[in-house]
Amino acid sequence: MADTRTATLTIDGTTYELPIRSPTAGPDVIDITKLYAQTGVFTHDPGFTSTSSCDSSITFIDGDKGELLHRGYPIDQLAMKSHFLEVCYLLLYGELPDAATLEEFEFTITHHTMIHEQMHNFFRGFRRDAHPMATMVGVVGAMSAFYHDSTDITDPRQREIASHRLIAKLPTIAAMAYKYSIGQPFVYPRNDIDYAANFLRMCFAVPAEEYKVDPILSRAMDRIFTLHADHEQNASTSTVRLAASSGANPFACIAAGIACLWGPAHGGANQACLEMLREIGSPNRIPEFIERAKDKDDPFRLMGFGHRVYKNFDPRAKVMKESADEVLDLLGVDNNPTLQVAKELERVALEDPYFVEKKLYPNVDFYSGIILDAIGFPTSMFTPIFAVARTVGWVSQWKEMIADPALKIGRPRQLYTGETLRDYVEIEDR
Among 79, 90, 140, 303, binds ligand SDX (CB under 6 A): 303
Residue pair 107/164 in contact (Cβ under 8 Å)? The answer is: no
Residue pair 173/385 in contact (Cβ under 8 Å)? The answer is: no
Among 66, 141, 250, 304, binds ligand SDX (CB under 6 A): 304
Among 159, 307, 321, 399, binds ligand SDX (CB under 6 A): 307
The CB-of-289 to ligand SDX minimum distance in angstroms stands at 10
Q: In what order do the strands lie in the sheet with 14-21?
A: 6-11, 14-21, 29-30
Among 66, 132, 306, 315, binds ligand SDX (CB under 6 A): 306
Restricting to residues 265-284, which ones interact with ligand SDX according to CB under 6 A?
265-267, 269
Phi-psi region of 72 (alpha: psi -120 to 50; beta: other; left: phi over 0): left
Q: Which among 59, 9, 79 is positioned nearest to 318, based on CA atoms? A: 79
Name which of 222 and 365 has its Cβ closer to ligand SDX: 365
Residue 307 annotated as catalytic:
yes
Count the site residues for ligand SDX by CB under 6 A. 21
Name which of 62 and 214 has its Cβ closer to ligand SDX: 62
Task: Report the amino acid identity of residue 175.
Answer: A
Which member of 307, 329, 373, 429 is catalytic?
A: 307
Among 308, 311, 318, 343, binds ligand SDX (CB under 6 A): 308
| Cα separations in angstroms, 325 against 302, 364, 370, 409, 421 | 21, 15, 10, 46, 63
DSSP codes joined into one string, 327-343: HHHHTT-TT-HHHHHHH
| Residue 146 DSSP SS3 | coil
Which member of 365, 373, 423, 429 is catalytic?
A: 365
Element (H, E) at 69: strand 67-70
Among 358, 376, 403, 404, binds ligand SDX (CB under 6 A): 358
Counting contacts by CB under 6 A, is residue 133 touching ligand SDX? no
Residue 31 annotated as catalytic:
no
Counting contacts by CB under 6 A, is residue 397 touching ligand SDX? no
Counting contacts by CB under 6 A, is residue 301 touching ligand SDX? yes
Q: How far apart are CA 397 and CA 59, in angstroms?
A: 9
Q: How far apart are CA 367 and CA 322, in angstroms?
A: 9
Name which of 295 and 404 has its Cβ closer to ligand SDX: 295
Q: Which residues bind ligand SDX (CB under 6 A)?
A: 231, 234, 265-267, 269, 293, 301-309, 358, 360, 363-365
Active site residues: 307, 365
